Structure 1
Amino acid sequence: MSDYKARFILSGLLASAPSFAADQADARGFVEGSSMDVFLRNGYISRDYKQGNQDKAEWGQGAVASFSSGFTAGTVGFGVDAFGLYGVRLDSGNGRAGAPGIDFFMVDDNGDIEHDVAQAGAALKARFSNTLITYGNQRPTLPVLSHDNSRLLPETFTGTLITSSEIDGLVLHAGRFTAQSRKSDEGRDSAELKAIDVLGGSYQLNDNISAALYASDVEDVLKRQYVNLNYVRPLGERDALTLDFGGYRTNQEEQFDPAERKNRIWSLAATYVTGPHDFTLAYQRSSGDVGYNYGFYQSEGWVGDGGTSIWLANSYWSDFNNEDERSWQLAYGVDFAAYGVPGLSYKVAYVRGTDINLGGDGRGTEREIFNQFQYVVQSGAAKDLSVRLRSSALRVSANAQNAISEGNEVRVFVDFPLDFL
C-alpha cells in the first residue's frame, strides 16, 4: 500500500515516535535492545515564482545517524536516544537561497549562506510498565507539535515528553518543550523558542473507528486545540472507504492585532480505495478573523510549533488556510505493483480555494495542481532506497497576488535508510 493511501486509513492513529510505550516487563537490556540507523537524503527544491519575484532553489546532501538503546531490566528501565546530523550545500548560489518555504541552509544577516550544517543531540528515557518519559532532544510528531522532516534535515525540539499506553487502545501524551533547533542552522535554540506545552491522546475504539484530542499552549503566542475522528469501512476484500475529519481551534495572544486573533479550520476527506486505485474528495473550511498560523521559527516572528503542524486534507504547496478560505480537493492515486512494477506509485490532486478575505481587495481565489511519482527499490543492495519526483503549479487571482505567491515548484528527493543494529 502506498504512503498516501495509508495517510487516510491510519490518520486516526495519532502518536509520536515511539507510538506506543512497550511493556517494561519485556526489557531486553541496554545493549541487547539497541538499534542504530543512518538516513541519507539528497534533496532539491526549486520554486519558479511569478509576479516578478526572484526564483529560489536549494540542493543539498544530508545524513542523519540515530541510536536508540534498549532499557535496563527492573521495575523502571533506563536508556538513551542520540542522533547526529550533517548537511552540505551542493548548490544554492546566485541569490536563490533564503526562501522560508525551502530553508535547507540559513542565510545570515550579511547575506552569507551556510555551507554546511551539523547538529547532535541526545535524550534520556525511563520506562515504567507501559509509560515512557523522555527528556532531551526529540522529534515530536503530534498534531499540535509536529517537527518538519520534509526538507533536507529535520528540526528538533528540547524538552520532556510522556507517552503512556496503560489502557489498551489509548495513547496519552503530555510534554513541555523549551527550545527548538532550526533545521537549516546550528545551535540548540537557533529558533529562539520560549515554551510549548502539549497534552492529549488518541483512542482506537475498534477496528474501524479512532479518535484524537490534543491541545497546546505556545507561550506568548497562541493556544490551540485539535480534534480528529477517523472511520474505515471495508467494502470487500480489496475495497475500503475512509472518512477522516480533523479540525483546529486557535486563539492568538495579545501581541497580535486584537481584531485578528481567532481561527477555526477543519477538513473532511472521503477516500475510496479499490485494488491499486484510490480516489479522494475533500472539503476544507477556514473561518474567524485570521488565517491558520503555524510552524517556522519564533526568531522569524512565527509560531514555532513545527513545520508540519497542519494535519488537514488540503495541504500541499499551499495549505489553503487563509482567512475565510473554502477549498475543495479531488485526488487520484495508483500503486503500480498491480501492473507488474512493485514500488512505483503516483498521485495527482487538484485543489481550488475560494472566498479568501483580502480586506479592501475583496475576495480572492487560488488553485493548485499537484503531481508525485515515487519509486522504492524492492530488493538488492539498494533495497528501500526511494526516489520522489514532485511538482506543484499554484495560481492565484489577480487581487490576491500581493498576499499569496504563485509559481511552479519542483522537488526531487532521494532517500536511503540504512540499518546497522
Structure 2
Amino acid sequence: MSRHTRLCSSLLLLTGTAIGVASPAQAEFIKDSKASLELRNFYFNRDFRQENAPQAKAEEWAQGFLLRYESGYTEGTVGVGVDALGLLGVKLDSSADRSNTGLLKRDRETGRAQDEYGELGLTAKLRASKSVLKVGTLLPKLPVVQYNDSRLLPQTFQGGHLNSMELDGLTFDAGQLKQVNQRDSSDYEDMSISTVGVKNVRVRTGTTSDEFNFAGASYKWNGNLTTGYHYGELDELYKQHFFSAVHLLPLGDKQSLKSDLRYARSTDEGSSNVDNKAFGAMFTYALGGHAFGLGYQSMSGDTGFAYINGTDPFLVNYVQIGDFANKDEKSWQARYDYNFASLGIPGLTFMTRYLTGDNIDLGAGREDGKEWERNMDIAYVFQEGPLKNFGVKWRNATVRSTNFGSDIDENRLILSYVLPLW
C-alpha cells in the first residue's frame, strides 16, 4: 500500500476512531461532539521581479484535506474529552524550478515537492467549571504566538494550554509549547526565531528551543473595550511582553470607530541579541458595508521584531507577504473593505490595502531601506443551495523594495468547501 493510500485511509478512519473512543463514555461526550471535513484547493503563483533573482518563479497547485473532530466532555466535576486533527496535502502540479511556495513538503536532498504529506494529531482535554486544559496537538492564537494557516495546511504545535474564564469578562491563558510542525512539513522540530526580512537578529550557532512558555490575560471591561497583557518566552532566545487594547465607539446608525493599539517589548534570553520595541495602531471607521482603515507601526531598538519562525506575528502591519517589522522601520497602512451584503449579496466581500515602510537600518555604510506592498482580496462564500459553504477567494499582492529584499508579484486562488459530518 502506498503512503498516499495509507494517509487517505487514515483520514477516513479518523472519524470512526473518534466515535470508538467516545462509545464507552457518557452521553454528553457524544451529544456535544462535532466533526467536519474541509477540502482546500490552492493555486499559488509568485513571480520574482528583481534582477539576478535566484528563482524566477514559485508556482504550485495542491489539494488539501482537513478533518476536524471535537468531542464533548464526560459528566462530573472534571470532564474528559478528546480532539483529533487529520491533515493531508496532495501535489497536483509542481517542478524543481517552481517549488518552495509553502504549499508542499520538499525533499531535503533534491528540493522537489513530494507527492503528498500529512499529519494525524490528538489532543486530550480536561474541563472543570469554566477552565479547559488541552495537551497534545495545539493551534495557538494569542498575541505572543499565533499559528500560521495561510497555505494548504496549518502549522501545528505540541504542548499544553490552559484557558480559564472563571471571572466574568476575564480570559486567562497559560501553557508551554514543545515543538512545531511547519505548514509545509510532516515532522515536528524545535523552535527558532524568524529570519524574514532585515531584523539584525543574531543567534548563537545551532541554537533552537524546545520550550516556549506563555501566560497572559485579557479583560472585557464592557461591550466596547477590551485590554490585555501577554508574556512569551522562547527559552534561550527571547522573552516578550505584549500589551493590547481594542475599543469600539458607536457613532450612530451603522457607523462606528474601532481603535486597535498594540505594544510589545522583546529582549534577549541568553543566546541572541534581541532588543526591540514595537508599537502599532489601527483605526477603522465603518459606515454601512464600508470600512476605512488607517494604520501606523514603528520599530525601535537594536533589532527588528522577534517571533517564532513560521508563525503569524501579532502586528497591525503584518499582511499577505511582509511584516514591516525590520530594524528601525516605520510604516503606514491605508485599507478599504466592503461587504456586499449591504447590496443584497451576502457572502461577497472585497478588501484592498496599501502599505509603505522606510527608515530600515541595513547596516553601517548602507542607505536606509524602503518597501511597499499592495494587497487585494475578493471572496465569495455560497450561502444556500447545493454549494452552501463553498468558498472562492482570489488574493493578489505586489511588493517592491529599495536596497534590499525581493520584488514580487503574487496571486493565490483558493477554493474551499467545509462539509459538516455531524
Q: Which residue of 2 aligns with 1:384?
A: 389
Q: How far 1:289 moved relative to its partner? A: 1.1
User: Could you tell me which of 395, 400, 406 is aligned with 1:395?
Assistant: 400
User: Could you tell me which of 208, 230, 248 is aligned with 2:224?
Assistant: 208
Q: Which residue of 2 aligns with 1:350?
A: 354
What TM-score results when the alignment is normalised by the length of structure 2? Answer: 0.86
**SS of match in other structure, 1:168:** coil
Q: How far 1:316 moved relative to its partner? A: 3.0
In structure 2, what residue type is equivalent to 1:81? D
In structure 2, what residue type is equivalent to 1:63? F
* TM-superposition CA deviations, 1:274-332 (whole Å, max 9, x none): 00101001111011111113233xxxxxxxxx521334245331111111111111111
Q: State the identity %.
A: 32
* TM-superposition CA deviations, 1:91-124 (whole Å, max 9, x none): 121411125xx35323413333221111101011
Bigger RCO (CA 8 Å, 6+ sep) = 1
Q: Which residue of 1 aligns with 2:314?
A: 310
Q: How many residues align?
A: 377
Q: Which residue of 2 aligns with 1:161?
A: 161
* Counterpart Cα distance in 2 of 1:231 and 1:317: 27
The 1:314/1:86 distance shift into structure 2, 3 A limit, reads closer
The 1:361/1:103 distance shift into structure 2, 3 A limit, reads farther
| Matched ranges for 1:27-66 at <5 A | 29-51=28-50, 52-53=52-53, 54=55, 55-66=57-68
**SS of match in other structure, 1:380:** coil
* Counterpart Cα distance in 1 of 2:122 and 2:411: 34
What TM-score results when the alignment is normalised by the length of structure 1? Answer: 0.86
The 1:155/1:163 distance shift into structure 2, 3 A limit, reads same
Q: Which residue of 2 aligns with 1:88?
A: 90
Stretches of structure 2 lacking an aligned partner (at least 5 in a row): 1-25, 192-207
Q: Which residue of 1 aligns with 2:418?
A: 417
Stretches of structure 1 lacking an aligned partner (at least 5 in a row): 1-26, 297-305
Preserved contact between residue 156 and residue 183 of structure 1 (Cα < 8 Å): yes
* TM-superposition CA deviations, 1:45-80 (whole Å, max 9, x none): 211112231121222110111111110011111111
**SS of match in other structure, 1:30:** helix
User: Could you tell me which of 341, 347, 350 is aligned with 2:345?
Assistant: 341
Q: Which residue of 2 aligns with 1:329?
A: 333
Task: Confirm whether residue 370 of structure 1 aligns to residue 337 of structure 2.
Answer: no
* Counterpart Cα distance in 2 of 1:112 and 1:346: 35
* TM-superposition CA deviations, 1:371-402 (whole Å, max 9, x none): 111111111122122111111111112xx23x
Q: How far 1:366 moved relative to its partner? A: 0.7
In structure 2, what residue type is equivalent to 1:414? L
Q: How far 1:367 moved relative to its partner? A: 0.9
The 1:293/1:46 distance shift into structure 2, 3 A limit, reads farther
Preserved contact between residue 104 and residue 151 of structure 1 (Cα < 8 Å): no
Q: How far 1:156 moved relative to its partner? A: 0.9
In structure 1, what residue type is equivalent to 2:410? E
Q: Which residue of 2 aligns with 1:218?
A: 234
- My pick for the range that moved more, 244-253 or 373-382, is 244-253
Preserved contact between residue 97 and residue 105 of structure 1 (Cα < 8 Å): no
In structure 2, what residue type is equivalent to 1:98? N
**SS of match in other structure, 2:97:** coil
| Matched ranges for 1:161-180 at <5 A | 161-180=161-180
The 1:193/1:88 distance shift into structure 2, 3 A limit, reads farther
The 1:28/1:236 distance shift into structure 2, 3 A limit, reads farther
Preserved contact between residue 176 and residue 196 of structure 1 (Cα < 8 Å): yes
